[in-house]
Amino acid sequence: METFGPYTKKLIEHFQIPHNFGKIKDPDGLGRVGNLICGDVIWLYIKVKEDKKTRQRKIIDAKFQTFGCTVAIAVSSMITTLAKGKTLESALKISKNDILKRTGKLPITKLHCSVLADDALHEAIYDYLIKNNLEIPRDLEEKHIRIQKQFQIIEKRYKEYIDLEKKILGK
């Protein structure tokens, strides 16, 4: 893969011209995650439609808003691209490793960004399942609990920043 400094051409492309940047009005699911160390925050929105014949639920749209570094923005773009068109079951199988395959080699100090994007998608799916009174897989429930504990620490530590973020996003 061609590189630009520590980043691949593909990563830089997703940073400079992010795919699916923006907000979905009335999303079916919303994942909001952040990192304790760097302060990156990702809001990931999904729209889901149920196929009447198969009864499978598919992500028909995914968008994101990210306050963060080059890598956080690029991986947010990448995960929305990966998730669109997938069933919820398939989307839950998307992992940080799938993202890292797309980004190419990252500096070790930026690996956490792939985890953030993965967590944001899983939180959006969790939110959708909760809103629709659907069964939540055990591993998703455990992941949700871990993510929420981390985010509560961030909210407490960075309350002023979080309030400003909500104001900017119109929340």
Token pair recorded at residue 26 = 């009335």
* 69 tagged catalytic: no
Conformation bin of residue 107: beta by default, left when phi > 0, alpha when psi is -120 to 50:
beta
Residue 156 CB contacts under 8 Å (≥ 6 apart), including other chains:
none
Identified catalytic residue from 13, 19, 21, 38: 38
Identify any residues that bridge with 44 across adjacent strands, giving them in sequence order.
31, 64
CB 91 within 8 A of CB 125: yes
Identified catalytic residue from 48, 94, 113, 116: 113
Q: How far apart are CA 12 and CA 152, in angstroms?
A: 31
Annotated catalytic residues are 38, 113
